[in-house]
Structures are given as C-alpha cells and as structure tokens.
Chain A
Amino acid sequence: MQIPAPFDYVRASSVDNALALLDRHGAESRVVAGGHSLLPMMKLRLARPDWLIDINDLFELDYLLVDKDVLRIGAMTRHTTLLESDDIKRLFPIITDAERVIADPIVRNRGTIGGSLCQADPAEDLSTVCHVLEAMAVVRGPAGERMLSMADFHRGPYETAVAQNELLIEVRIPIRTGSSSAYEKVERRVGDWAVAAAGASVSLDSAGTISRVAVGLTAVGLDRNVTEVEAVLVGQAPTEELFTEAGRLASLACDPLADQRGPIDYKRHLADELTRRVVRAACRRAAASVSEITI
C-alpha cells in the first residue's frame, strides 16, 4: 500500500460550494474529480495537497448535449460516457478514437474530460483532440464565467489558465457540416502513456476540396496545432502527396524528448506517420459524410 502524506478532505455539494471551498482552503487545496492522475501522484508523494476538494457529487456537470451547432460537454463527464456516445461517434469520431485508447476501462469509468484537460499532461489525449476541434473552455470563478479558446486555456505541460479559485465547467465544440476527424496513438502497452499520438480534423466543401484542417500532436513537445499544415492543405483536394507533406511538416514542427518510450528520431517519425494516417482517415470520413449529405 502506497501511503500519501497527510491531507484533509471535503466533498463539494455544488459548483458554487466548490468555488467557495477553493477560496477558503487556498493555494494548497486541489480539486479531485476521477482522481486517476492526482491520487497516484499523492501516493508517490509527488503531490502533497493539504486539502482535497472532491467534486464527484457535482452531477450538474455530467452531461453531453447537442445545442444547435455546438456540442456541450460538462466537465464531469466521464470518459466512458464520451466513448459510448452515438452523437460523438457521428459528429466527432476523433473523440471516440481517442477514448478507445485512453487508459483502460477502470480509469475511463472514473476519469473525466475536465480532469484530463486541467491535468494537461503532455501525453494527455483530449487536450490535442480539443485543440484540433477548436473547442472552447468555459471556466467559472468568483468573478463569473469566462470562455477561452484552447490556445488560451492550455498554457503548456501541466499548466492551464484555470486559476486556483476557478473551475473548468464545460467544453464546447463547434459542429461543422462536411467535417470529420481521426486520432491515432502508439503506446507500449494499453494504459501506458503515449509514445506519440496525432489527431486531425478536416472540413471538405461540396467539391471535395479541403476547406479547413487542423492537426495536433500528443507527447512530442508541441502544445499547439501544427499550423504549418493548414496553409499547404487548405484549398487542395486530398491526395497521398498532401498527406505525406502534412506528415513531413508535423515531424518538423514537433520537439520530442528521448525517454524510455523511445528516441527522438523515432518520435519524429511517429509524428510524421501518425499525421499522415489521421489526415487520411479524417479526409475519408469527411468525404463519406459529404456524400451522405449529397445523396
């Protein structure tokens, strides 16, 4: 049994109550949702909060709804819910792809989208997914709500724009016609951190030309989309040559570190390989959805 350092524990009863508790207990308090990142860190005594504020009773943040042209996901929505949602499978297959390879069923039953985004682990999949889907993060604090783009929300490894006395409460993803997306990861074993992963979201116009593209990478030292790809792909019909070029640009854009999961050149190679795969898959899926609409 790994034993964490001493801490106190309180269960929040509402979002406002959680915000009040954060305010009251100050800098050494931490919010716990699914707990699958924070608790292992505490057991290894790498994290030592004085207070744990448990927000698992905030059922009001566990929802998934299509609201006109936006998909709204409550921050306490569990990975399993995302994985099993037909709306998500239809609208954002990238999320289904990613959820299938996030940890294991036990973790997915507890872990939440809000927890994942706020942990901002460099090997975390949903940050990349939200970047390429151009999601917005709704953050509430004592001064009310603010809405942030992923670029503003996600500041780097383990760092977000959510202040100590704020909570991420919702993620909003714009729904676009003629669009689709894909995600692929390489890991040493199911449940291990990614060696590398890539996600892509593509919109095609009625002629089948790429009208919008976003590519993101996980675990290879890039906290933004591979914007270099956009200029090359937009306005073009999807071809293998374009996918190859996208892969090449992704491999140049990333900045991986060598570790037990692999050397730098392998990770660069994966950025290339996986980018080609996800852009190709996203284009195929988008084309299929366009043709469905046409028919």
Chain B
Amino acid sequence: MTILEDRPSNPAAGDHDRPVGHGRMQRKEDPRFVRGKGHYVDDIVLPGMLHGAILRAPVAHARLVSIDTTEALAHPKVLAVITGSDLQALGLAWAPTLSMDVQAVLVTDKVRFQGQEVAFVVAEDRYAARDALELIQVEYDVLPPVVDARKAMDPGAPVIRDDLEGRTDNHIFDWEAGNKAETDAVFASADVVVTQEIVYPRVHPAPMETCGAVADFDPIDGRLTLYETTQAPHAHRTLFAMVSGIPEHKIRVVSPDIGGGFGNKVGIYPGYILAVVGSIVTGKPVKWVEDRSENLMSTSFARDYIMQGEIAATKDGKILALRTSVLADHGAFNATAQPTKYPAGFFHIFTGSYDLAAAHCTVTGVYTNKAPGGVAYACSFRVTEAVYLVERMVDILARKLEMDPAELRLKNFIKKEQFPYANKTGWEYDSGDYEPTMRLSMKMAGYDELRREQKEKRERGELMGIGISFFTETVGAGPRKDMDILGLGMADGAELRIHPTGKAVVRISVQSQGQGHETTFAQIVAEEIGIPPEDIDVVHGDTDQTPFGLGTYGSRSTPVSGAAVALVARKVREKARFIAAAMLETRPEDLEWEKGRWFVKGDPSVGKTIAEIAMGAHGTVALPEGIDGNLDAEVTYDPPNLTFPFGAYICVVDVDPGTGHVKVRRFIAVDDCGTRINPMIIEGQIHGGLTDGVGMALMEFIEFDQEGNCLGGSFMDYLIPTAMEVPDWETGFTVTPSPHHPIGAKGIGESATVGSPPAVVNAVVDALAPFGVVHMDMPCTPARVWEAMQGRTRPPV
C-alpha cells in the first residue's frame, strides 16, 4: 500500500514531544558531536603510545631495487623502521583482500601504484615519524605503467600482477547476468535501438576523518586491542585472526566515533596491519593516522566503470530491453568489497524501474597501476553505476523518440500489481508503487510550468535544463544462502537487555559512521516495547561488547540490523508476557499488549508495565517453567531478501552560455524507503547524498596523468562540493513498506547518492540540447560543458 503522508515539515522534537517509538526526534548522539566531544581514533591516547608513518611510492610502477633505512634508524626518536622484507620474514608481506585477491602490505618486489606503502616508521611522536620518512633511501627501477583501462588487455601491456603465479595479463574477471540470446533477439527485432558509451569516472569517498588505527598488543597474554576506523568491526576481527595468526578470542576490535565512512572504511588497509606489526615489534601501543593526501591517493576509490549502453524500444516508447558491456578498472589489487558471488556487485540491477522483456550485462575487471578498492562512496555494491547507466539511457531514448522523459518513464514503470517483481537478471523486487512517487515529484517541481519556462528561455538563448532520474535500489545484503564476504554470511545480530528498573541496552553488530544508529535503533526498540528512546542505550563498535555481524555498508543497517533489533524486542515482549502472567497470576493468553504494558483482557486497569515486569523478572516472582530470571534476548537475523527503496528526483539547472558554468537551481527528491523510523534522520541522509551526487556530477574526479601520477591527491585538486554549490533541497516521500522486513523498513543511506548524479547530468544534457548534445560524461565542469557546446564532448578517461 502506498500512503502519501502529509506531516508538518519540521516539528523538531522538544523535550516534551519525543516519540515513544518511530517519529521525528533529534539525534541522541548530537549533543556530543555538536559540542566537539566526539571520541575518534585520533583522540585515543594510551600510556607509552608510539606513532607510525608510512613511506609511499612516488611512482606508479617500478621494481624495488633497494631500501636503506640506516639514516632513519639513527634518528634519535625513531624506534623501528619496517620494510617489506621484514614482513616477508613474518609471513605478513601480503594480506588477503575482500575479493579473494592479495594486496601487498609493504612493497617487496614491485610498486604497483603511486602512493603504495613502502616502509613504516615507528617513532616517539608523529612529527619525528614523518620527518624520518625523508631519511629512508629507496632506489626504484621505473617501469611503464598501465593507466588506461582500455589498454590493460592489449597484447604487450605490462603485466602488473606478476606476483600471481602464471599471470600473463591484467585480466581479473568476466561476469555476466541475464539472458544473452533472448536479449539479442529482442534487440534484433526492435523498432528503435540507441547506444551510448557512458563513463562513470573514478571518485573518492573523502570522509572528513581519514583512516587510522591504534594497535595495542599485550605480549604477556597475547591479546590485541585494535582501535580502528572501521565500518565492520566483527569482520575485521575475523580477518585479523586469519591473517595474523592471533586467535580470534584474543582480538578485540573497537571502532569509536567514525567521522564518515561511505565505504572508505570497509576494507583492511596496510596501515592498520602495520600499526599491529609496529606494536608487536616495539611492545608499545602504536597509533597510525593517515593524512589527507594519503587518504585520497591510496584508499578505496569508487566507480571507474566504462559502460557501453544499449537500449531497445518500440516506436511509441515501450522499452523492450537493455544490454551493456562494462570495463571495470579495479586498480592494482582487486580489493573491492562485494559479496563473493558478485564480483561486479549488484550492477545487474541495471534494469532499473522498468518492466523489460530482456536484459543482459557483462562486466570485465582489469588491473591498472592505480590505487585499489572499488566499493566506496555510497555505492550500494555498484547500484550507483547501474542506476546512472539506465537513467542516462532512458533519457537518450526519450530524445531519440522525441518524447518527454517523464512520460517515457511513466509509460514503462513496473506496475504496482506486478510486485513482487522478478526482473530479467535474477532480482526479486520486494515492493514498489512507482507512479505516485513520480507524480508527486512532478507536482512538487511544477514540471509542466518548468517545461514552459524552459521553452521561453530557449527562445531567448538562455540555457535551462530539467533532469529526471527514477531509481530503484537494492540494499540490505543479504540472504546468507546467496551472500557472503570471504565465507562470512551477511547476517547481523542483536542483543537486548531490560535492566531491573526498566531501562534498556541494545547491542548491535553494525557500526555508525554518522547514520544516527544510537537514535534509530533505540526508536525501533521503543516502538516495540514502549519504553522511551532516551531510556535505551545503543552499544556498537566494540567486538567484546556486541554480537557478531557484518557491519554497516550498502545501506544494510536498517534492513538487516534494524530487523534484528525489532525481532529481539518482540522476543523480549513475548517473554515479558509470560512473566507478567506469573506476576498477575493469570494465563499469558489472557493478556493483551498496549505499547509498554501487558494487561488483562477486558480489565485494562490490571496490568504490568515493562519496567514492572523487568523488576519482576529479576526479583522473587515465581517464574513459569522454561522462563529464566531476566528480561533479555538475542537474535541473529538472516534477511530473506534485499529491500528495494526507490525515488523520483528532478533537477533544474541553469547553464551560463558564455562560460559553461552550471548552477543547480532546484532539486526535488521524493524518496520511498518504506516505513520511516525517524524522518529527520532520513532527511539528513538524503541531504548528504544529494550533495555527494552534485559533487560527482559537477566536479569530483580522481584523474591520473600518463605516468600514473594521481592528480587528485589533495583538496586543492580533488574538489568536493560546499554549501555554495547546492540548492535548498526540496524533499518529499511516499511510503511503500517492505513486505518481508519486520517493520516494513528499507535502507535509505545511499538512495540519494545513487539517484542524484543522473538527475544532474540529465539536466545539464537537457540544457545543452540546442547544441545537439545527447550525452556528456561527468564531471560537468565549466570547461567540459563548454567543449560539449562546441560539439567536442569527450570521456574523462
């Protein structure tokens, strides 16, 4: 069912109107963040702590000839200098990646990207560690690099991964989804086919807090405590156990406050391992925190997909099929974090929101001499690329058919009654009702009026563009029968304890990087058992204190952990029923629930609140057989399917015809993420994602020169948007609950990042229609827009 709610726009909750359950309330974590009292990895200071710094390769591809650390070791404050050969002796020179590849922790044989880790200095303070890097003498034998992914598979291209046995080229994988023969047949008989190469250039998550770790190895009891910037503490603990040989019960991973993740903090970086090695070697805690350039040049990037898109349709605008082949640049090591079966993530959701007769995609991954990674930046496991492809292709088709792009979309949506909908590449969309969402966005935008205004402006030579994007996301990975990372099923646990006084603690396996988990999860418990969110503490980020689970990325916290929390609260509620019955000397089936209280059917005055029941559980009440003396429970939730949030975005841009400068004038975002737990947090997530999207569409780009030098190694060169580049966001929503999620919620964290870039680019291309522009690749910088106006569009790579 789709409900169009019409709540007041911002009834910011005061102390007296906090919801006991779902609803708009200010975040419980904000008081510490707005007062500057957050506690991040770099705030951790341990007695005797030392500091590490990493020497990085200045070139993209080179054989390592020699390293001389004598002078660095002579620095009065330096305690250790670790090189690749030291690690080799310990069997730690290479570490497994999340994609079953290996990555060098420190270079032993060959540098494979600029910024790669070459040596690690441990010193008394951070300044000395940094200064000592300049005292290490390294000799390189520079090799020709592979920079252009298009040339990675050329015969004679330098082989980057000669460390892998039998490797003679730069090929990583071929992967496909859908039915090729069926799709080809539809294409062969279609009235209209349009094709377009679409490049999604390499961008970087650039979280406010860079990556870092404090490792504290206790040589007496062999216990490692590792404070890390990680989105997935439990997965990291298991991996560290596998890599280091330290048994898992002796490892504690703590992820304190995290200053933004966006996928950047999913993987295990060499720096984390080096901090551990540094601590083992020196017997003291070692802190390593990278600087901004290190973060931009060496940690997980996102995108870098070169896509050949094809769309087939009838003359009157019925979309029949989609076909694409993708060349994926994975950098020097395949370190992308994707569920094992899906090397291209969930890219096969590229069929989008449309009811197609056939679809087929292939993805080829290649190595290049660039930083490794690939799952970053709110990418939803490559849904970002998929949505961009289909939403650009639909716009290009609309132009070809001379149809309004809104009308073309409306004509081809999967219909409400078709859900659950099996698409042509193997997904089952859980729920959707697309047309009302699209219509609401058009109403909010004043779509027809905008088109009229555009027509008038065009007659005066002014360039105004209107861009639409309608996306369907697939988030909440995922069912353990299909999805794992390195053999770990993608489930999450939750534990709930109600203390004797009726206050509660809920422990979760996912880790917030700004998503507001401490509020959202408290609200989920509050809704289920009726105690106020402020009475519920949410514990996360410490493997010693929380149940196992795979962590926060791919918008999976609410779909997976949110479900676990709702179910654990229901389990407690059911247990409370038995205890209440014992206290009231009645039968459990004679009790009825109202929020916060079990009472006797037909006699509402006789009942027990959750607080009374908790006291009873821990008190002297004679408990029924099989009910132990507490009000606690735990669950592990294995999602039956992913959730499929969707949304309709409309962007209005003005382009300066003399300079090519793009101004985003308006942006209307209507999102449907099912049940809305805290609308204020949802809106915050959407505002952030939309800003991301404008950044990628207009300015963000990690560029490399022909030698493989990274040209985006600082915020002077890698541009991220500010408040000046974005409009006042106009948000709206519809509610189509997920039928399989316990509270009907879907993920929202990445919707806006996924959905907004095509809306902006579609708007820019629409503005440039008078110049015959059908497509231009991101980033739409003034120069690139001007070139498009001259008929010289060019791919960014």
Contact = CB atoms under 8 A, between A and B. Distances in A.
A177 B603 CA distance: 91
Given A44-B293, A260-B703, A195 B719 contact: no
Given A188-B781, A189-B725, A266 B131 contact: no
Nearest to A269: B786
Contacts of A190: 722, 724-725
Contacts of A274: 659
A193 B781 CA distance: 13
A263 B783 contact: yes
Interface string A1-26: 11101100000000000000000000
Given A104-B722, A189-B699, A1 B291 contact: yes
A44 B716 CA distance: 11
A186 B126 contact: no
Interface string A155-185: 0000000000000000000000000000000
Contact of B291 (A3, A5, A6, A186): A3
B126 A3 contact: yes
A189 B699 CA distance: 8
B771 to A, nearest CB: 14
A192 B703 CA distance: 16
Interface string A129-169: 00000000000000000000000000000000000000000
Contacts of A5: 131
A5 to B, nearest CB: 7
B453 interface: no
Contacts of B787: 263, 266
B724 A2 contact: no
B127 A6 contact: yes
Given A188-B781, A266-B783, A2 B291 contact: yes
B49 to A, nearest CB: 15
A1 B783 contact: no
A214 to B, nearest CB: 22
B661 interface: yes
B42 to A, nearest CB: 8
Contacts of B42: 1
Contacts of B717: 260
Contacts of B658: 273, 277
A266 B658 CA distance: 11
A264 to B, nearest CB: 10
A190 B663 CA distance: 12
A44 B714 CA distance: 9
Interface residues of A, number: 26
A270 B659 contact: yes
Interface string B125-142: 011001100000000000
A194 to B, nearest CB: 11
Given A3-B126, A6-B127, A277-B658, A40 B716 contact: yes
A235 interface: no
B613 to A, nearest CB: 51
Contacts of A192: 719
Contacts of B725: 189-190
B127, B659, B703, B719: residue with the most chain A Cβ atoms closer than 10 Å: B659
A1 B212 CA distance: 11
A1 B719 contact: no
B783 A262 contact: yes
A3 B787 CA distance: 39
B661 A260 contact: no
B782 interface: yes
Contacts of A189: 698-699, 719, 721-722, 724-725
A261 interface: yes
Contacts, number: 65
B786 A266 contact: yes
Contacts of A191: 722
Nearest to B705: A260
A273 B657 CA distance: 10
Contacts of B622: none
A277 B656 CA distance: 13
Contacts of B721: 189
Interface in B740-797: 781-783, 786-787
Interface string B37-55: 0000010000000000000
B480 interface: no
Contact of B711 (A186, A260, A266): A260
A260 B714 CA distance: 14
A44 B715 CA distance: 12
A262 to B, nearest CB: 3
B499 interface: no
Contacts of B781: 188, 261-262
Interface string B682-716: 00000000000000001100010000000100101
Nearest to B725: A189
A186 B782 contact: yes
Contacts of A270: 659
A104, A190, A277: residue with the most chain B Cβ atoms closer than 10 Å: A190
Nearest to A1: B291
B292 interface: yes
Contacts of B130: 3
B289 interface: yes
Interface in A239-293: 260-263, 266, 269-270, 273-274, 277
A186 B661 contact: yes
A76 to B, nearest CB: 25
A6 B725 CA distance: 37
B300 to A, nearest CB: 20
Contacts of B786: 262, 266, 269
A266 B661 CA distance: 12
A277 B659 CA distance: 11
A246 to B, nearest CB: 14
Nearest to B779: A188
Given A189-B719, A260-B717, A6 B293 contact: no
B297 to A, nearest CB: 12
Interface string B255-293: 000000000000000000000000000000000010111
A193 B717 CA distance: 10
A263 B661 CA distance: 15
A195 B660 CA distance: 12
Contacts of B661: 186
A190 B783 CA distance: 15
Contact of B292 (A2, A262, A263): A2
A243 B542 CA distance: 67
A44 B725 CA distance: 27
Given A3-B127, A3-B130, A186-B659, A262 B782 contact: yes
Contacts of A104: 722, 724
Contact of B126 (A1, A188, A269): A1
Given A44-B714, A270-B659, A6 B131 contact: yes
B659 A273 contact: yes
A121 B177 CA distance: 53
A192 B42 CA distance: 29
Nearest to A2: B291
B722 A188 contact: no
B293 A261 contact: no
24 contacts: A1-B42, A2-B291, A2-B292, A2-B293, A3-B131, A3-B291, A6-B127, A6-B131, A40-B716, A44-B714, A188-B699, A188-B781, A188-B782, A189-B721, A189-B722, A190-B724, A195-B782, A195-B783, A260-B717, A261-B781, A262-B781, A270-B659, A274-B659, A277-B658
Given A2-B293, A6-B131, A104-B724, 19 more contacts: A1-B42, A1-B289, A2-B291, A3-B126, A3-B127, A3-B130, A5-B131, A188-B699, A188-B719, A189-B724, A195-B782, A195-B783, A262-B781, A262-B783, A263-B787, A266-B783, A266-B786, A273-B658, A274-B659
- Listed from nearest, the 8 A-B pairs whose CB atoms lie closest are A262-B783, A190-B724, A3-B130, A273-B658, A2-B291, A189-B719, A266-B783, A186-B659
Interface of B: 42, 126-127, 130-131, 289, 291-293, 658-661, 698-699, 703, 711, 714, 716-717, 719, 721-722, 724-725, 781-783, 786-787
